[in-house]
């Protein structure tokens, strides 16, 4: 049997081969392949993000506008829900059976073992009603978090709102750090200053066991970071003025923008129709949002920044300034009020100089001013001459901050439009002349200007030639004025030309028979320079505009008012702007007649005029 002894080596070899395979395999999964370590961390490490305290928002007088308040979400872990007494549960949470069913279904689809919100944004009293009964409903729990609370019923468009992040926003690299269902500023300042308001998230690493139960800090909290509260926003808004403006604009569609010309600070920014900012927070926010979204008056639309309109006669000021700068007219230039060229608004004295023309808002006069500025005879070709002329004219116009974004700290800002020669080439296949574009001279036609831009033009005139970028926020946290808003933007028009048109603008308000007489604040010794406008509207009643600044000698406020379908600007827009200026400069309003007259539907102003 000796020969069988060799077989012991075979057995030993089998043992050894298996041991070596194990050693090699273990070396591979333990030392070479790092993926198991990651998988182990995924198993046991839970990253808990602590949302920082969101920054507050103040007005220019340090009045608190937006703060935070604790709200409560009713969370549900579907797997832990046992024998739910649906009828009683519905009664306790004040929801219909369908709502509860749908909510539970959605929660199940999200996860059976993780908590997801069934009802969000319960207030403290609402919580109290639910909390005592919660013990009877296993699987449901309360989670507290901070939500926005508003100290004002106004300024909704500017403030914006805070809501959960959408899947579309999550794709934006800017929001890469956000978790699903996390809250962020969705519009207005809340969105534009999201980064500053948000602060820095804190992160805690916790170890959990297989059932997700916490088992203490990871490595004694070595990698944990504390959250840093968001910074406060100090806005330039005068909330009293804002409230007053919204009150006056009640029942109408349109916008009002008031600026401090010396700084570019936005004092008031009214978009009508408005809504209360609190509508977009708290329980039922989703439904209220949908109601606002589907409202045909479009209350969510931020009109002063997002709705370019033809500026109407107010634009005549820019037209005149450009022509003065080009040297094609002088303040003393007179043009006949020739109705064959273009109709005038009314019969008035002969426009023998620019002041009379402005005071009466003479359409033929400014038609001829712009023709002089555009048709310079630089080409014998009529079409070419117009094209060259318009291009140069446009360049001057755009130096007023028109036709492009001003750089306001608001995401919803639009460019408006000052049409280019190319634009008309496309529209008219290169066959167009001054006769085609003359409407621009009186702020009509293919031109689009936002109320913000209009107010900024008035601030520029008030400053005699430059403007600061209009802005809502004067300071973030403890930091002072932001450098980008301290830079002067000069127009291409020399300062003396501004002086040349201001007397006419004063005549509009205070001169006998001026189109903006309703705006006069002469009784208080406040001088005002302004311009009315009536924007032709092919779809309905004309839009009323008025833009002004005051006092003329030391401008403290520049304002632009745009009221849709309110007819002649002097009737509605002018007194409204005047009340705003009175309110801002005097702190109170004594002309109750106008104050009672203005709020309400815009239709009335139209009938008065005819």
Shortest distance in whole angstroms from residue 48 CB to another protein: 17
Residue appearing with tokens 């009150």: 247
Within 392-472, strands assigned E span: 466-468
Shortest distance in whole angstroms from residue 42 CB to another protein: 9
Rounded to whole angstroms, what are the CA distances from 602 to 179, 336, 516, 599?
46, 34, 18, 8
Q: Are strands 488-490 and 557-563 parallel, antiparallel or unpaired?
A: unpaired
**Separation between Cα atoms, residue 62 and residue 96, nearest integer Å:** 43
**Closest CB to another protein among 223 and 524?**
223
- DSSP, collapsed to helix, strand or coil, labels residue 436 as helix
**Closest CB to another protein among 11 and 135?**
11
Alpha helix segments (H runs only) across 111-143: 124-131
Shortest distance in whole angstroms from residue 141 CB to another protein: 22
Residue among 122, 144, 123, 230 nearest 185 (CA): 230
Shortest distance in whole angstroms from residue 6 CB to another protein: 10
**Closest CB to another protein among 11 and 176?**
11
**Separation between Cα atoms, residue 162 and residue 184, nearest integer Å:** 5
Shortest distance in whole angstroms from residue 8 CB to another protein: 6
Shortest distance in whole angstroms from residue 31 CB to another protein: 5
- Round to the nearest angstrom and report the end-to-end CA distance of the chain: 131
Q: How many CA atoms lie within 13 A of 461 on its CB side?
A: 37
Shortest distance in whole angstroms from residue 289 CB to another protein: 39
Shortest distance in whole angstroms from residue 293 CB to another protein: 42
**Separation between Cα atoms, residue 489 and residue 508, nearest integer Å:** 27
Shortest distance in whole angstroms from residue 213 CB to another protein: 9
**Closest CB to another protein among 215 and 435?**
215
Contact partners, residue 89, CB within 8 Å, separation at least 6? 100, 137
**Closest CB to another protein among 5 and 222?**
5
**Are 548 and 601 in contact, with CB atoms under 8 Å apart?**
no
**Separation between Cα atoms, residue 593 and residue 183, nearest integer Å:** 46
**Closest CB to another protein among 28 and 339?**
28
**Separation between Cα atoms, residue 297 and residue 254, nearest integer Å:** 11
Contacting residues toward another protein, per CB under 8 A: 1, 4-5, 7-8, 10-12, 14-16, 18-19, 21-23, 25-27, 29-31, 33, 35-37, 39-41, 43-44, 207-211, 215-216
Shortest distance in whole angstroms from residue 114 CB to another protein: 16
Residue among 452, 443, 470, 461 nearest 550 (CA): 461
**Closest CB to another protein among 36 and 339?**
36
Residue among 95, 136, 135, 138 nearest 118 (CA): 95
Shortest distance in whole angstroms from residue 57 CB to another protein: 44
Shortest distance in whole angstroms from residue 10 CB to another protein: 7
Give ∠ CA 134-136-140 in degrees, rounded to 5: 45
Contact partners, residue 146, CB within 8 Å, separation at least 6? 51, 53, 54, 68, 69, 70, 71
**Closest CB to another protein among 16 and 170?**
16
**Are 202 and 226 in contact, with CB atoms under 8 Å apart?**
yes
Q: Is 385 left (phi over 0), alpha (psi -120 to 50) or beta?
A: alpha
**Closest CB to another protein among 26 and 170?**
26
C-alpha 180, offset from chain centre: 24
**Closest CB to another protein among 10 and 87?**
10
Q: Are strands 233-235 and 57-58 parallel, antiparallel or unpaired?
A: parallel
**Closest CB to another protein among 110 and 301?**
110
Q: What is the dihedral of CA 298, 303, 309, 311, to 10 degrees?
A: 140
**Closest CB to another protein among 143 and 209?**
209
Shortest distance in whole angstroms from residue 13 CB to another protein: 11
Phi, psi of 177 (to 5 degrees): -80, -5
**Closest CB to another protein among 44 and 433?**
44
Q: How many CA atoms lie within 13 A of 558 on its CB side?
A: 29
Shortest distance in whole angstroms from residue 113 CB to another protein: 12
**Closest CB to another protein among 209 and 225?**
209
Residue among 319, 262, 312 nearest 468 (CA): 262
DSSP characters over 9-65: HHHHHHHHHHHHHHHHHHHIIIII-THHHHHHHHHHEEEEEEPPPPPPEE-TT--EE
**Closest CB to another protein among 31 and 135?**
31
Shortest distance in whole angstroms from residue 17 CB to another protein: 10
**Separation between Cα atoms, residue 568 and residue 577, nearest integer Å:** 14
């Amino acid at each position: 049997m000796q020969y069988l002894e060799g077989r012991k080596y075979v057995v030993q070899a089998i043992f050894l081969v298996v041991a070596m395979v194990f050693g090699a395999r273990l070396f591979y999964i333990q030392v070479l392949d790092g993926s198991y370590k990651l998988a182990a961390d995924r198993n046991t490490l839970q990253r808990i993000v602590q949302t920082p305290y969101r920054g507050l928002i103040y007005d220019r007088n340090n009045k608190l506008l937006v703060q935070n308040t604790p709200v409560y979400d009713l969370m549900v872990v579907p797997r832990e829900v046992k024998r739910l007494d649906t009828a009683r549960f519905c009664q306790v949470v004040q929801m219909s059976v369908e709502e509860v069913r749908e909510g539970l279904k959605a929660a199940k689809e999200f996860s059976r073992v993780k908590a997801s919100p069934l009802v969000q944004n319960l207030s403290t009293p609402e919580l109290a009603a639910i909390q005592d009964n919660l013990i009877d409903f296993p699987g449901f729990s309360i989670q507290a978090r901070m939500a926005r609370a508003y100290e004002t019923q106004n300024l909704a468009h500017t403030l914006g709102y805070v809501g959960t992040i959408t899947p579309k926003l999550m794709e934006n690299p800017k929001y890469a750090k956000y978790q699903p269902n996390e809250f962020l500023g969705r519009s207005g300042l809340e969105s534009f200053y999201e980064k500053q308001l948000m602060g820095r998230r804190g992160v805690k690493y916790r170890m959990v066991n297989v059932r997700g139960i916490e088992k203490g800090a990871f490595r004694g909290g070595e990698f944990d970071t504390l959250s840093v509260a968001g910074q406060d926003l100090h806005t330039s808004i005068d909330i009293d003025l804002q409230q007053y403006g919204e009150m006056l604009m009640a029942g109408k569609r349109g916008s009002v923008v008031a600026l401090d010309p010396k700084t570019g600070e936005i004092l008031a920014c009214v978009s009508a129709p408005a809504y209360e900012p609190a509508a977009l927070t708290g329980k039922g926010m989703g439904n209220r949002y949908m109601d606002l979204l589907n409202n045909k008056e479009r209350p969510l639309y931020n009109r002063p920044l997002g709705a370019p309109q033809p500026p109407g006669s107010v634009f005549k000021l820019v037209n005149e300034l450009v022509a003065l700068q080009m040297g094609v007219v002088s303040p003393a230039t007179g043009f006949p009020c020739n109705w064959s060229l273009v109709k005038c608004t009314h019969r008035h004295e002969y426009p023998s100089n620019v002041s009379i023309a402005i005071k009466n808002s003479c359409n033929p006069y400014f038609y001829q001013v712009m023709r002089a500025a555009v048709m310079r005879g630089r080409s014998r070709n009529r079409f070419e001459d117009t094209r060259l002329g318009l291009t140069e004219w446009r360049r001057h116009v755009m130096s007023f901050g028109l036709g492009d974004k001003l750089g306001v700290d608001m995401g919803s800002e639009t460019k408006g439009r000052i049409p280019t020669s190319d634009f008309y080439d496309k529209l008219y296949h290169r066959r167009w002349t001054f006769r085609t574009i003359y409407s621009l001279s009186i702020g009509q036609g293919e031109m689009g200007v936002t109320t913000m831009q209009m107010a900024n033009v008035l601030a520029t005139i008030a400053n005699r030639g430059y403007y600061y970028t209009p802005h809502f926020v004067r300071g973030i946290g403890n930091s002072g004025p932001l450098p980008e808003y301290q830079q002067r933007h000069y127009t291409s028009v020399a300062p003396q030309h501004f002086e040349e048109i201001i007397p006419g603008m004063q005549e509009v308000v205070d001169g006998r028979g001026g189109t903006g007489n309703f705006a006069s604040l002469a009784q208080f010794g406040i001088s005002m320079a302004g311009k009315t406008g009536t924007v032709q509207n092919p779809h309905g009643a004309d839009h009323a505009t008025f833009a002004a600044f005051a006092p003329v000698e030391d401008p403290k406020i520049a304002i632009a008012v745009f009221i849709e379908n309110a007819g002649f600007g002097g009737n509605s827009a002018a007194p409204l702007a005047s009340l705003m200026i009175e309110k801002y400069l005097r702190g109170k309003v004594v002309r109750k007649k106008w104050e009672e007259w203005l709020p309400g539907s815009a239709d009335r102003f139209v009938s008065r005029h005819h």
